[in-house]
Structure 1
Amino acid sequence: MALGLPYPRGLSRYTVERDLPATMPDGVTLLADRYVPAGVERPPTILVRTPYGRRGPAALANGLLFVPFGFQLVVQSARGTSGSGGEFDPLGSERDDGLVTIEWMKRQPWFHGTFATFGPSYLGYSAWATAAEAGPALKAMSLQITASSFRDAAYVGGSFALESALAWTDLTHRQQRPLGLLTAPLTSRRRAVRAARSGRPLTELDVLAGGRPMRFYQDLLANHSVTRGYWDRRDFSGTVGQVGAPVSLLGGWYDVFLPWEIKDYLALRAAGHSPYLTIGPWWHTDARHGLPGIRESLAWFRAHLQGDPSGLRSDPVRVYVTGAREWRHYRDWPPPGTRRVRWHLHAGPSDRHGLGEDGPQDHPASTYTFDPADPTPALGGPTLLGSSRPVDNRPLERRRDVLVFTSRPLRADMDVIGPVGADLFVRSDREHTDFVVRLCDVAPDGTSRNVCEGGLRLPAADGKRVGADGVRRVAVDLWPTGHRFARGHRVRVHVTSGAHPKVAANPGTGEPLATAATRMLKARQEVFHDPDHPSAIILPVAERSPEAAVPAPEEDAL
């Protein structure tokens, strides 16, 4: 057995053709390696385009394990990386270069008419960039921890994903140096966090982290508020519904791209397609999603390129429920049968605020002051590099700039599976400010672990003023989740205005990111929870279906 499927006899050997050249219209040559299974006539092709190298440890992530099962694998290095010519323009060249590469591939004598695309993260984005225009030869796509657009992940809720943007830019710059593919993943996040905590203006942090200006980082700063131009050729979310090939998606509850990967799934469903979706207890660089990604991709490719659907599961949606330590199978996402329940924020004495399904109470607003010179940190939550494993948030909850609302102990297990949101009534003495909402699970011993979170930068397009008193009603989208709050545990909600350095602190001045200086203004924040302003978190409470629950392997458990 291999990858959970019978290992084909006689197919363990393969040959490799190195540095196959494909010339782009501007004369730049991109290089690819082709892996060919021995003894297979007319094997279908799997195409992978990557900026992370073609050989060494990268070969396994690029899909080498598919080759013994009768697929030929073509792995091309993106422009400006690992021997391919030109300059690496992150996100900017993948559509044009990818489409030319597909046409080049179709002209080769070894191409036999059908191909699939595969890959995690940037590799998956590269596949989305060409998917709507690839033509009928594209028979399947299997993508992991990725999305058709990275724009909203760079500007989470309208803010700036500082740590991830800076770390990834540093990573891609350093990996082209000798041994960079090995060392950069280990050090880029540390350099990014150190630079982000320096207090210097955002526009200086790339030099502080990497020793020189980095184009992509500066582009992200400059195009934060741009609606046309830069992102037009880098955002493929509008064409997802036009993709004709069957699509399988795999993500993680703590992955930076999960909300937008689910949007891709929903766009495919709205267009009448039948994609598969798997969400596990993983984060972006979590090695545990590697094997499930290969296993599910292999079943997908065998079904759609080799005519063998025996490895496909019957239900298209499979999600892991943290807290319950089990997998659930559903017909669709969000899971049928969930109820969206409002849990209202209640004021309480001192810092002991309440949370519950009972209606709002007539109490004064809760207040705090956010100081961008001492920004509220994020102890956990999704990040691109490093671990996003849930952590104990009690040190954060002792800060005076974090409002904490906690329920009574639950009398029965409660499964929350689906999109999570917050409906807040707020007021600030600053026109420009942020609100961050976090959902936590509090164990009987007091440990308070983050489940999911989200934020919104004001002024926001969907923010509505309730009256002349300056109160705004704002909707904050949190990460979706699949989590059991066990009997005896408590549900907790944070409301604050920072998650630094994952999100850049809002200086309160309204200046553009690319030109903002070090001037910072404190913000006095009010959160209302009276009958006229019923602030609440909205939880998708699911009915448990024992027939759809499968105990999880121990290695999947958090």
Structure 2
Amino acid sequence: MLDVTIEHDVPATMRDGVVLRADVYRPSAEGPWPVLLARLPYGKNQSLLAAVMDPVGKARRGFIVVVQDTRGRFASDGEWEPWTHETDDGYDTVRWAAALPGSNGSVGMYGPSYLGNTQWMAALAKPPELKAISPMVTWAEPDDGLFARGGAQELGITVPWSLMQGIDTLLRRHADDPMAQGQALMALVGDTDAVANSTYWELPAGRHPVFERHGIPELGFERSRREPEWSANCRVAGRQAEVDLPSLHSGGWYDIFCQGTLDNYTAMHAAGRTANLIMGPWSHTGTLGYLGDVNFGLAASTELLGFRGRFADVELRWLRQWLAPDDAESPQPELPPVLLFVMGINQWREEQEWPLARAVDTGLFLRAGNHLAFEAPDAGEGTDAFVYDPADPVPTTGGALLMSNEFPAGPFDQAEVEARPDVLAYTSDPLAEDLEVTGRVRAHLTAATDAPTTDWVVRLCDVDTQGVSRNIADGIVRAVATPGEFTEQVVDLWSTSYVFRAGHRIRVQVTSSNFPRWDRNLNTGDGLRSQAAHQEIAHDAARLSRIVLPVIPASAEGQA
């Protein structure tokens, strides 16, 4: 291991003259060294991120590591506006980092979430010195996980994320007036602390009063509705093939950007790029192997990765092969194209592709008597009904999410949710043998409402032999309706890899809210006036409702 020197607040001048500042970690020995770059809005000295990024450890292994505050954040100059400047600033910073003293001229980028998107934006700008990217838990389409999902706002992340980023904004704004600064911070912290009980509930959700109250930028949902073209500043979907670089995609089945990670890998692979995918039983911030109320085992964690070693070491070896191929460490087993953690049996599995070609789309049909069956219904099974009241929405209970601390991600007992009269629950007979579901899950509902607009929420659950129902995947679609007319509503539950064990039952929940993860549909379309909606789900021979599962045939399980 090498000794490390650190330079703080090293300036880099962008094309418009704005100065961004970075901490630069250098091996003390003579180079040249490959460069790793991370660009973030959370503060380059933020302790939790520093533990994830481990710049000292990476520098000790023979990399120059650059951790930069993005524009308008902490040590960097300029005005803070999420996403807006990351393409140009990313390009300029890569070129600057490649020219640092001691650099070998090759730059790789790494980091999770926002840091993953700064990698994509820089890569799309094509700086010649950028040789590889390793985005973790980041999205492809901002309207499918970041700003919105199925047409509903991702309120759960929008409010607390924007408020937390507002702290640095207010510190900078009132730097010359300590009294005003203290008052502004107290008001902001008050709204942040009250997010679960009051701030989430403020209306209109689509023009949330809390952001105007404090004069802070929001995550981007509101601006993207005013200026649809602006979303291109953080949209990767449809553009992955423009990036001719190796990429390592890492994500979690219970991460808010689960599907984006998969979509980015799939697009890069389809374009013929070198790409690898790792999907664990993780949330956005939880990678220890215990999530929600389920213990997936210590081998599920990023510390063991199925006894392949620490994820950080696996990632570093992967980056080194592209940034310093003639100076590689002792050979290590290569990553497979796809490394999946299969929940339920709690095993890592190597695959050659995603999605798995051997998966067979298999329908389970909603039936009368709250039954779920592989056989389609006969005539005369009719409909089930419930009333959705936006004043009393179904509370968020686990899932692939990132919210305030009152709403943790992961699998949780659904007993309280399923006891509500506004939640329909359809349950299969006990399974005679294990059933693996690996791939994208969708529900097709034949549904009607008496409202002009409403939401349909579907959740897939595993009911164990003790009768405990836990959430596996869910989704939402916001529908414009003709009152009383039955139409097909397709709900995308994203993807999973899960084995329902023999003796367990499969359950499907159908309802119209999951709050505050997604904003409430007020059933009126005007954003302020609320009314209850009478909902119907049909499940007879002429009006089928079903969930479609990508089932891995038993004879094919374990194939790679």
The TM-score by the shorter chain falls in which range? 0.7 to 0.9
Moved more, 418-427 or 313-322: 313-322
Task: Tell whether 2:30 aligns with 1:28.
Answer: no
Q: Helix, strand or coil for the counterpart of 1:99?
A: helix
Moved more, 134-143 or 279-288: 134-143
Give per-residue Cα distances to partners, 1:38-78, cap 9 Å, x unaligned. Answer: 32521111111111222252333234132222111111110
Q: Helix, strand or coil for the counterpart of 2:92?
A: helix
Q: Give the 5 Å matches for 1:103-252.
A: 103-153=95-145, 154-174=147-167, 191-196=194-199, 198=201, 200-202=203-205, 205=208, 207=210, 212-217=214-219, 219-224=220-225, 228-252=228-252
Q: Structure 2: how far apart are the matches of 1:392 and 1:541?
A: 24
Shift of 1:163: 1.5
Give per-residue Cα distances to partners, 1:479-508, cap 9 Å, x unaligned. Answer: 211111111110000011000110111011
Q: Helix, strand or coil for the counterpart of 1:170?
A: helix
User: Does the aligned pair in 2 maintain the 1:196–1:501 contact within 8 Å?
Assistant: no
Q: Helix, strand or coil for the counterpart of 2:104?
A: coil
Choose from 361, 368, 376 the match for 1:359: 376
In structure 2, the residue matched to 1:497 is: 512
Aligned amino acid, residue 161 of structure 2: W
In structure 2, the residue matched to 1:68 is: 60
Task: Tell whether 2:359 aligns with 1:368.
Answer: no
In structure 2, the residue matched to 1:19 is: 9
Q: Structure 2: how far apart are the matches of 1:191 and 1:144?
A: 30
Q: Percent identity?
A: 34
Q: TM-score, normalised by structure 2?
A: 0.86
Q: Structure 1: how far apart are the matches of 2:440 and 2:354?
A: 9
Aligned amino acid, residue 212 of structure 1: H
User: Does the aligned pair in 1 maintain the 2:35–2:106 contact within 8 Å?
Assistant: yes
Q: Helix, strand or coil for the counterpart of 1:276?
A: strand
Q: Helix, strand or coil for the counterpart of 1:530?
A: coil
Shift of 1:168: 0.7
5+ residue gaps, structure 2: 172-181, 289-300, 304-309
Distance 1:97 1:197, change over 3 A: closer
Q: TM-score, normalised by structure 1?
A: 0.87
Q: Helix, strand or coil for the counterpart of 2:33?
A: coil
Q: Structure 2: how far apart are the matches of 1:359 and 1:149?
A: 34
Distance 1:56 1:132, change over 3 A: closer
Distance 1:306 1:547, change over 3 A: farther
In structure 2, the residue matched to 1:556 is: none
Q: Structure 1: how far apart are the matches of 2:202 and 2:10?
A: 47
In structure 1, the residue matched to 2:338 is: 317
Q: Give the 5 Å matches for 1:424-443.
A: 424-443=445-464
Q: Structure 1: how far apart are the matches of 2:468 and 2:422?
A: 20
Shift of 1:232: 2.7
Q: Structure 2: how far apart are the matches of 1:45 and 1:52?
A: 21
Task: Tell whether 2:502 aligns with 1:510.
Answer: no
Q: Structure 1: how far apart are the matches of 2:190 and 2:314?
A: 31
Q: Structure 2: how far apart are the matches of 1:347 and 1:17?
A: 68
Shift of 1:287: 4.5
Distance 1:316 1:368, change over 3 A: same
Aligned amino acid, residue 214 of structure 1: I
Q: Structure 1: how far apart are the matches of 2:226 and 2:333?
A: 43
Q: Helix, strand or coil for the counterpart of 1:315?
A: coil
5+ residue gaps, structure 1: 1-9, 550-558
Q: Helix, strand or coil for the counterpart of 1:238?
A: coil
Q: Structure 2: how far apart are the matches of 1:478 and 1:440?
A: 12
Choose from 447, 462, 471 the match for 2:486: 471
Give per-residue Cα distances to partners, 1:366-414, cap 9 Å, x unaligned. Answer: 1111111211222111221443121111111111111110000111111
Task: Tell whether 2:332 aligns with 1:330.
Answer: no
Moved more, 502-511 or 307-316: 307-316
User: Does the aligned pair in 1 maintain the 2:207–2:222 contact within 8 Å?
Assistant: no
Q: Structure 2: how far apart are the matches of 1:290 and 1:365?
A: 46
Distance 1:63 1:454, change over 3 A: same
Q: Helix, strand or coil for the counterpart of 1:473?
A: strand
Task: Tell whether 2:317 aligns with 1:299.
Answer: yes
User: Does the aligned pair in 1 maintain the 2:155–2:516 contact within 8 Å?
Assistant: yes
User: Does the aligned pair in 1 maintain the 2:287–2:302 contact within 8 Å?
Assistant: yes
Distance 1:546 1:440, change over 3 A: closer
Q: Structure 2: how far apart are the matches of 1:346 and 1:546?
A: 29
Q: Structure 1: how far apart are the matches of 2:71 and 2:412?
A: 39
Shift of 1:116: 0.5
Shift of 1:469: 7.2
Moved more, 311-320 or 25-34: 311-320
Choose from 436, 456, 465 the match for 2:477: 456
Give per-residue Cα distances to partners, 1:169-220, cap 9 Å, x unaligned. Answer: 0121125678x9xx9xx99975432234545432675529x96243225x52
Give per-residue Cα distances to partners, 1:141-185, cap 9 Å, x unaligned. Answer: 11111124433212111001111110110121125678x9xx9xx
Shift of 1:335: 2.0
Distance 1:416 1:530, change over 3 A: same
Choose from 511, 521, 540 the match for 1:530: 540
User: Does the aligned pair in 1 maintain the 2:388–2:422 contact within 8 Å?
Assistant: yes
Moved more, 147-156 or 368-377: 147-156
User: Does the aligned pair in 1 maintain the 2:249–2:278 contact within 8 Å?
Assistant: yes
In structure 2, the residue matched to 1:543 is: 553
User: Does the aligned pair in 2 maintain the 1:150–1:257 contact within 8 Å?
Assistant: no
Moved more, 405-414 or 187-196: 187-196
Q: Structure 2: how far apart are the matches of 1:384 and 1:36?
A: 34
Q: Structure 2: how far apart are the matches of 1:140 and 1:197?
A: 39
Shift of 1:299: 2.1
In structure 1, the residue matched to 2:293 is: none
Distance 1:364 1:417, change over 3 A: same
In structure 1, the residue matched to 2:294 is: none
Q: Structure 2: how far apart are the matches of 1:195 and 1:312?
A: 52
Aligned amino acid, residue 238 of structure 2: G
In structure 2, the residue matched to 1:78 is: 70
User: Does the aligned pair in 1 maintain the 2:341–2:348 contact within 8 Å?
Assistant: yes
Choose from 6, 16, 32 the match for 1:42: 32
